[in-house]
Amino acid sequence: MVMLFNGIEQKKSRKSSPGNKWTRLVEREEDRGAQCILEEIGAQCILEEIGDQCILEEIGDQCILEEIGDQCILEEIGAQCILEEIGALCILEEIGAQCILEEIGAQCILKEIGAQCILEKIGAQCILEEIGAQCILEEIGAQCIL
């Protein structure tokens, strides 16, 4: 199923694999911030930053996306996730995995509580704070604070 919301194309396909897993791909045609790729599987979270589009892949949960002008709000039922993207400002609040991502320009802050987390950032400053979880931070071409 493909739906268009103010320049956003959504593709949702249901897999036939056990567990009733859902896979959703959301791509923004124009995104004034940096490119955001979030892959979430259970409590594990992978965030990749590379350019000016936004791609969300979710396996195992339902997802609702609302687009209001430059503001992008993602409400995820089950994983209880809200993504607000306003220009270069990106905030991810995730209840359960308890994850907050704030992205302002090229600077990125990721706070993760009680879940495994991988953050990959290309060409930007990055701050990662990890509490009670395993963490991998890979930084290419940028300053990094861990």
Confidence (pLDDT) at 123:
41
Residues 110, 49: contact at Cβ < 8 Å? no
**In the chain, where the domains are located:** 2-145
* Pairing status of strand 81-86 against strand 89-94: antiparallel
pLDDT in tens, 64-81: 333 333 333 343 333 333
* The token pair that represents 6 in the structure block: 């103010």
**64 burial via Cβ count (<10 Å: 0-12, 13-18, 19+):** exposed
Confidence (pLDDT) at 61:
35
Confidence (pLDDT) at 89:
33
- The C-alpha atoms of residue 101 and residue 15 are separated, in whole angstroms, by 29
Name the nearest CA neighbour of 28 among 58, 64, 65: 65
Which residue type is seen at 49?
E
pTM: 0.26
pLDDT in tens, 88-141: 333 343 333 333 444 433 344 444 444 444 454 444 444 455 444 444 444 444
Rg (CA), the chain: 15
Confidence (pLDDT) at 125:
43
- Residue partners of 25: CB distance under 8 A and separation at least 6: 10, 11, 12, 55, 56, 57
